[in-house]
Amino acid sequence: MLRKILDSKYFQIPYKIVKTIIIIVMVTYVAFVVAQRVSGNKSIFGYRIFTVATGSMIPDYDINDVLAIKEVNSNELKIGDDITYLGKKLDVNGRIVTHRIIDIKIENGVKKFITKGVNSAAEDPAITDDQIYGKVLGKIPVVTEINHIIKNQYGFFFLIFLPLVTVVFLEIADTVTEIKTEKKKVEDNENVEEII
């Protein structure tokens, strides 16, 4: 009975589609996580990947959005650009921050950028170009959606864990059924040989 269900085209087509989607989603997500971890968030071909950790840029970027950052010459940056930088003062010291440039000043011959989150009331301490990782190109859509699902308890359970467990169970059931079928064929062949 199980063999008939597993071999049915009404089961096989959706099963293969779900299995392929799960594999693509997992491989894509793992590839981005590995690239981020292995590189230590260092630039790869002038690009970096960062995940938004706070709500300071809502509604433009939500928590857990995955952003693509491109290294640029600081002379190309202008007011209104979103940048990612390493904070060195006050409450952003040692933190990687993605905020919007609201002003650019020259003090004692040094260019300083004033940034602020679009959802923040206070501006950040002034930064210099050596702190800037790059300009935000935008969200990486597929990876962002996967990240939101995986970071959500219910989304992870219903869209990742449950389908993955189902695929593993069905693969095991298919393998066990094949083994039983092969074993039965061998036994039938042995019985036929004994009769002859």
Per-residue pLDDT tens digits for 123-134: 899 999 999 999
Superfamily per CATH, domain 43-141: Umud Fragment, subunit A (2.10.109.10)
Least confident of 33-37, 131-135, 183-187: 33-37
Per-residue pLDDT, 60? 93
Assign 61 a pLDDT band (cuts: 50, 70, 90). very high
Q: Where are the domains of the chain?
A: 2-32+152-195, 43-141
More confident residue, 143 or 47: 47
Mean pLDDT of the chain, nearest integer? 83
- Residue 115 near residue 132, CB atoms below 8 Å: no
- Residue 68 near residue 140, CB atoms below 8 Å: yes
Share of the chain above pLDDT 70, in %: 90
Per-residue pLDDT, 42? 74
